[in-house]
Amino acid sequence: MNINKVKEGSTLTVAVEGPLDIRTAPELSKALEGEIDDVTELFFDMKENTYTSSAGLRVILKCFQTLEPKGGRMVLKNVNDDFYNVLELSGFTSFLEIERA
């Protein structure tokens, strides 16, 4: 998995390439350590993400937990149909801002 981070002011865009699962989720978590403290907008670009498991979703949601209390915004962008369908089935589309690919 590759992670590319681009920060512009208080907006951070994180592109996740490859699978985000129980093996790779800790890499994302580590890459984001200290990165979102001063961020008000966080975008996860999932265009090149091939698969996201529960472990991966939990890392993403941990970021949302940091942002939400201070009025921050998180968007999952370029979410493919597979991932979107699982998010919808489980009920997360009612709670998260998601832009489909």
Partner 1 sequence: MSVVELTEDNVEEYLEYLGEDVAENIGRTFYNGLIAVDEDGSPKAGIIWEFKNMRKDSERESHIVWLQAENEEDFNELLDNYDKAIKSEGIVKSCFSLPAKTSEKLKSMLRSKGFSVGLMEGNKITASLSEIADISAFKKIEISDAVRPLRSATQRDFLDAIGRMMELGRYGTCEDLAYLPRLYFENDVSCYAEADGQICGLLLFHKTPSEKLEVVLMCVLGKESVKILPQLIKQAVESGYEYYEPDTVIVIDRHDYASLALGEKLFPRGFGMPVYEGERAEA
Which residues lie near partner 1 (CB under 8 A)?
21-22, 51, 53-55, 57-58, 61-62, 64-65, 68-69, 82, 86-87, 89-92, 94-96
Tokens of 47: 């265009």
Between 30 and 58, name the residue whose CB sits nearer to partner 1: 58
- Kindly state the smallest distance separating residue 8's Cβ from partner 1, in Å: 26
4 three-class SS: strand
Euclidean distance between CA atoms 69 and 22, whole angstroms = 27
What are 19's two structure tokens? 């699978």
Q: Which two tokens stand for residue 100?
A: 């489909």
Looking at beta carbons only, is 3 or 86 nearer to partner 1? 86
Smallest gap, in angstroms, from Cβ of residue 97 to partner 1? 12
Question: Is the Cβ of residue 6 or residue 58 nearer to partner 1 in the bound state?
Answer: 58
> Any idea what the Cα angle at residue 32 is, between residues 78 and 55, rounded to 5°?
65
